[in-house]
Amino acid sequence: MAGNSFGDIFRITTFGESHGEAIGVIIDGCPPNIAIDEAFIQSELDKRRPGQSKITTQRKESDTAKILSGVFEGKSTGTPLALVIPNEDQRSKDYSHIADKYRPSHADYTYQMKYGIRDYRGGGRSSARETAARVAAGAVAKSFLAQSGIRIFAHVSGVGKIEAPNLPTHDIDELAALRESNMVRCADPATANEMISFIEAIRKAGDTVGGRISATIQHVPVGLGEPVFDKLHADLAKAMMSINAVHGFEYGSGFAGSEMQGSEHNDVFINPDGDEKKLKTLTNFSGGIQGGISNGMDITFRVAFKPVATLMRPQQTVNEAGEATEITGKGRHDPCVVPRAVIIVEAMAALVIADHLLKNQLYDQTR
């Protein structure tokens, strides 16, 4: 199975399955002398951890990461950094009833056809359990980016048809505190309460619902990204679309921009500081990226997640013999993934920006 690595210079490779002994990640290309705070890594993992509220899966995992290599006296050494996260609460029996059945909208059928074998226990490698490894790697990437003052903030901006108002992002610390004050991780408290009530009703009905996450990356220098295939927004799109259940990505004005006229959409340049190398724009419909290259403004994007495919109600399907049958979800599943996916979105964004920042440093050295 290919495709287990992400990034070019700051490169990660994840391993493990949902019901195996552990999952983990190897980070290659992390510069030396980066402060590696295990408590910070754990705090990031705790935001993705299952069983944290009544509107998430009740699987009980501490998601305690153990660093195996690449760190000495609290700092990265520049050698491969390996982290492992044990699986502690597997209940494989919850999946025995689907051993020969294809769950609707899951990877069961496609995996079986491609590889001739599949791990039906939670989906094996296709399980969102794998994203814990990404969050651990993202925490290391955030520590690297912090040296350059780059910060990332994401929150749940939509659940079903409920949409939060646009929020000013000048104070990320304040927004992060508001986000963490509620279980749905929406930085607008009034909207958060509405979302929580809606998700609870969906869960009680044995159904699921999708949602949206909005993100902002601040203090990104001008010049990250390349103008053809390695556009910064293209790499962000690939990163986000690699997350389980993601069905859409847009940056800046996104799809709404297609309804505008050029005279409305163009971001007019200004020079508020009198420095021709630190220009700003009056608007930010470009989402901080122009021609595939960061322009110094905030990078903004949204990610759309589909409803969780496992329903706690009967569904029609077929088995491996192609015979019609019925299937009902068992075990512990999220009625809506976005509350736990916020930190995954941040982690993948951090990995992309860290990779491009290192690419730019190499480019600067050759000029």
Residue 80 structure tokens: 């491969």
Give the pLDDT confidence score for residue 330 in this predicted structure: 73
Environment class of residue 116 by beta-carbon count within 10 Å: exposed (0-12), middle (13-18) or buried (19+)? exposed
Close Cβ partners of 118 (under 8 Å, ≥ 6 residues apart): 107, 108, 111, 112, 124
Task: Give the integer Cα–Cα distance in Å for 255 and 50.
Answer: 33
Tokens, residue 119: 């791990």
Which amino acid, residue 205? A
pLDDT computed for residue 179 by the predictor? 97
Output the DSSP codes for 154-194.
Answer: EEEEEETTEEPPP---S-HHHHHHHHTTSTT--SSHHHHHH
Instruction: Copy the structure tokens of residue 141.
Output: 């990437």
Residues 300, 76 contacting (CB under 8 angstroms): no
What DSSP state is assigned to residue 255?
G
Per-residue tokens: 75? 């700092």
Neighbour-count burial for 147-172, b at 16+ CB within 10 Å, e otherwise:
eeebbbbbbbbbbbebebeebebeee
Selection from 251, 301, 335, 348 nearest residue 44 by Cα: 348
Q: Of the candidates 217, 358, 222, 187, which has an alpha carbon nearest to the alpha carbon of residue 292?
A: 222
Q: Facing residues of 269 across strands?
A: 281
With 0-12 / 13-18 / 19 or more C-beta atoms within 10 angstroms meaning exposed / middle / buried, residue 192 is: buried
| Continuous segment of H or E residues that includes residue 240 | helix 232-241
What digits encode the pLDDT tens for the residues 143-186?
Answer: 999 999 999 999 999 999 999 999 887 889 999 999 999 999 99
CB-based contact 309:107 (threshold 8 Å): no
Residues of the chain scoring pLDDT < 70: 51, 53, 57-60, 89-94, 331-332, 366-367
What is the C-alpha to C-alpha distance for residues 136 and 48, in angstroms, rounded to an integer? 10
Distances (CA, A) of 199 to 158, 277, 335, 361: 12, 47, 7, 45
pTM, two decimal places: 0.94
Instruction: Record the tokens describing residue 263, joined without a space.
Output: 């005279």
Of 26, 105, 29, nearest in space to 68 by CA: 26
Q: Which residue has the tokens 């512990």?
A: 332
Integer Cα distance of 97 and 329 in angstroms: 9
Q: For residue range 286-341, list pLDDT tens digits in order.
A: 999 999 999 999 999 999 999 999 888 899 999 999 999 998 877 667 899 999 99
